[in-house]
A and B are shown apart, each in its own frame.
Chain A
Amino acid sequence: MLKAEHITKTYNAGKKTALEDFSIHVPKGSIYGLLGPNGAGKTSFIRIINQITQADSGDVFINGEKLNPNHIKDIGYMPEERGLYKNMSVGDQILYFGELKGMKRNDALNEAKKWFEKLHIDQWWKKKLSELSKGMAQKIQFVVTVLHRPHLLILDEPFSGFDPVNANLIKDQIIELKNNGTTIILSTHRMESVEEMCDYVALIDNSKKIIDGRVFDVREKFKKNIFGITLSDVNNEQLQQFQNKYEIFNLSEQNNLISFDLKNTVNQNDILLDLVQAGKVRSFDEKIPSMNEVFINAVGNHS
């Protein structure tokens, strides 16, 4: 769907680099997370896709076609800094934004009605934005973004400022859109939403891409073969032997349960065979790093 190749973007006559040799590939119908701390270059990249700014060098392709102004109507963009006209009625506002994206007025009206029913906000059509609560305004903002049925949806920090109820509601809508074939780029510095929603992820730090790929693969790649183990009814003698054989840390005891982490160097089934001697195995699971840990690790290795 979207391919970015060797994008470089600088500001202030080259004094400040926002993106350096940045390349990603966003497959069609996926949710692609752009992950990175504030100021890493996420918003710069998004603005380039939206043709708000231009890259100094490098190319962006959408469906194999070089990025051009015709793509604008295929893209739905919810910026991090968002807002609507306070003194304009909700309906007028939505139609205006629809028309700006090249929709026919009637078309925009029908599509808006559909969304308003879906989000249960049809009674707000004639209200002015200043009369709405913040949560309501956020829903309108979302409708504005998706109204023109974009093939590519770009959401910059989509959940910042949303209350939990609305955040969930929007999350469901995003997943539904994805299931219907929309490609979604989601930029955030909140790792947990990436784990929940994204199929692919690219980590950006200090204007460079550090790692990218499927979320599963990325996490697998950063795992350190550490297992978390909990035992009950421990045979202390056997446990001692076990401890001599393996590298164990974070040992703790609570309510006659013994928990520890283990760094694996052999086949994990061999560990299990040894473990059953030491006590009843209550839990045994491989510790896959969270995106947060991956990120800290990746950034740490990198710099």
Chain B
Amino acid sequence: MNNIYLITKREFLTQVKKKSFVLLTLLAPLMIIGFGAVIGLMFKANESHNVIEVVDNSGLFKGQLKSNDKLEYIFVPVADEKSKIKNLKGNESLDGILVLPQISGNNFDDLEKNTRLVVNTKIGLDTKQRIISDISNVIKKEKIKQLGIAESQLDNLDKNFELRTINVSENNKEDSDLAFGVKTGLSLGLMYVTFMFIIIYGVRVMRSVLEEKNNRVVEIIISSVKPFELMMGKILGVTMVALTQFIVWISMSVIGALVLNTGFSSIQKNIPGGNEEISDKLDIAQIATQVSHSLLDLNFPLIIFVFIVFFLLGYIFYSSIYAAIGSAVDNETETQQFTLFAILPLTLGMYGSFSLMNNPDGPLGFWLSIIPFTSPVAMIARIPYGVPAWQIALSIFLLLATTIFMIFLAGKIYRVGILMYGNKATLKELWKWIRS
């Protein structure tokens, strides 16, 4: 045990003391924020303000085509049409002229046929769509008016139907769309975090094994400790590194949120992707309370418990695979063929879990969250929606048993592999090592 502690400590300290680790840990959150900001800016920079002059021969559109900050309509006298078009070329303050024809006998098809947009420069698809939609709206209103329906009646027709869902298994709690959105966001976020951490840190375990093998330091250590102790110490050491990084990032988010001092941002930072469902039409403050309300309604102790258990077990499960891979090959380029075995099931679990959003309790979700190879990501993805206790228990039991079995297998491969230099083991050889 003492040896595992010593190895864990060394693994942890050497990795944490690396400049690259310190830099990445401190800068990654800033980089993500910065990256987001850059993308936002890029979209912002690409937004244009178009000025369109309207020659309205029909007289229907005056006052109906509404300008906004992206598109500005300026109505000009009908008489100016020809001179305006003549002067359009080279006019930098004007993007185009919309010519709406005279309308006779409410023949709107004729109107469509004869409406022209004369442009100066290339006009974006976005702007064109907006103009089309603005014109159609006006025409629609006009047509409705001709049917003899009052505007208030019309509004009444458009009223949304909201379906209230009441979940009897969760204390008759109301399950709003927003709450479902929050759960989906939380589910995706937690799943993605787990997936990334398993891949990134699993590979780190593999590198560390390879490094010892390439340094030829491994035989010296093996003369002092059991190969199994070395492997476990390594996996646990990297686990500590991962947790450290995780804790630092969470603390940074919390501190960041406190500094910003708005309740809303604390929710936003803690739950990546938690606010995807929110449409910008609603009042931010109101949404914030609703989101936090939905979040508070969730069974957090259970979610945290399940997250920690599946995160750690899943990570140890896959790390032992990675450790075995690292021991069986001689350099990193040779690992690719084998890492596929580790990445494929996990990826399967993750993409499979995307379908959970449609049906969290369906058979796919069930099996993905029970089978040990995919359960680390799938169960974490499912848990915000609520999972029956027996399924959680069964899944934990299976994952735990498989993890112990996998460590045992990896230990066997590792024991032989670390002392083999100069050739890559074949699958057949690996099988032989396991059986020996």
Contact = CB atoms under 8 A, between A and B. Distances in A.
A51 B225 CA distance: 10
B222 interface: yes
Contacts of B214: 83
A121 interface: no
A257 B216 CA distance: 55
Most buried by B among A83, A85, A101, A145: A83
Interface stretch (A71-79, A109-117, A243-251): A71-79
A52 interface: yes
B137 interface: no
A50 B216 contact: no
Contact of A96 (B6, B215, B219, B223): B6
A214 interface: no
A92 B10 CA distance: 9
Given A88-B14, A96-B10, A100-B6, A72 B215 contact: no
Contact of B219 (A52, A97, A144): A52
Given A52-B419, A96-B6, A96-B10, A84 B224 contact: no
Contacts of B10: 88, 92, 96
A52 to B, nearest CB: 5
A52 B419 CA distance: 9
Interface in A47-69: 47, 50-52
B216 A81 contact: yes
B3 interface: yes
A38 B215 CA distance: 22
B6 A85 contact: no
Interface string A124-150: 000000000000000000001100000
Contacts of A72: 223-224
Given A96-B10, A100-B3, A82 B224 contact: no
Contacts of A87: 14, 18
Most buried by A among B10, B419, B432: B10
Interface in A167-197: none
B6 A83 contact: no
Interface residues of B, number: 24
A84 B217 contact: yes
A82 B219 contact: yes
A83 B223 contact: no
A99 interface: yes
A86 interface: yes
Contact of A77 (B3, B13, B220): B220
B421 interface: yes
B216 A82 contact: yes
B401 interface: no
B219 A84 contact: no
Interface of B is mostly: helix
A106 to B, nearest CB: 15
A79 B220 contact: yes
Contacts of B217: 82-85
Contacts of B421: 81
A52 B6 contact: no
A11 to B, nearest CB: 9
Contacts of A92: 10, 13
Given A52-B419, A81-B216, A97 B14 contact: no
A290 B199 CA distance: 59
Nearest to B230: A100
Nearest to B435: A13
A84 B220 CA distance: 9
Nearest to A99: B6
Interface string A219-243: 0000000000000000000000000
B237 to A, nearest CB: 12
A87 B11 CA distance: 11
B221 interface: yes
Given A82-B216, A83-B216, A100-B6, A52 B223 contact: yes
B14 A85 contact: yes
The CB with the most chain B CB atoms within 10 A, among A13, A84, A99, A101, is that of A99
User: Counting chain A CB atoms within 10 Å of each CB, which of B18, B215, B219, B222 scores highest?
Assistant: B219
Nearest to A84: B217
B215 A50 contact: no
B220 A144 contact: yes
A84 B436 CA distance: 30
A88 B211 CA distance: 12
The listed residue with most A CB atoms (<10 A of its CB), out of B10, B222, B223, is B223
A100 B224 CA distance: 6
B314 to A, nearest CB: 29
Contacts of B219: 52, 79, 81-82
A52 B222 CA distance: 6
Given A83-B215, A83-B216, A75 B223 contact: yes
A29 to B, nearest CB: 22
Contacts of A99: 6
A100 B219 CA distance: 13
A100 B215 contact: no
A130 B368 CA distance: 46
Nearest to A50: B223
Interface string A141-161: 000110000000000000000
Contacts of B224: 72, 97, 100-101
A92 B17 CA distance: 12
Contacts of B212: 85
A249 B122 CA distance: 106
Interface in A37-51: 47, 50-51
Contact of B221 (A47, A81, A100): A100
A78 B225 CA distance: 15
Contact of A82 (B14, B211, B220): B220
Contacts of B222: 50, 52
A66 B149 CA distance: 104
20 contacts: A47-B419, A52-B219, A72-B224, A79-B220, A81-B219, A81-B421, A82-B216, A83-B215, A83-B216, A85-B212, A85-B217, A86-B215, A87-B18, A88-B10, A96-B6, A97-B220, A100-B3, A100-B6, A100-B221, A144-B220
Interface of A: 12-13, 47, 50-52, 72, 75, 77-79, 81-88, 92, 96-97, 99-101, 144-145
Given A79-B220, A99-B6, A144-B220, 8 more contacts: A12-B432, A79-B216, A79-B223, A81-B421, A82-B219, A92-B10, A100-B6, A100-B7
Q: Which 5 A-B pairs have the closest CB atoms?
A: A83-B216, A83-B215, A79-B219, A100-B224, A77-B223
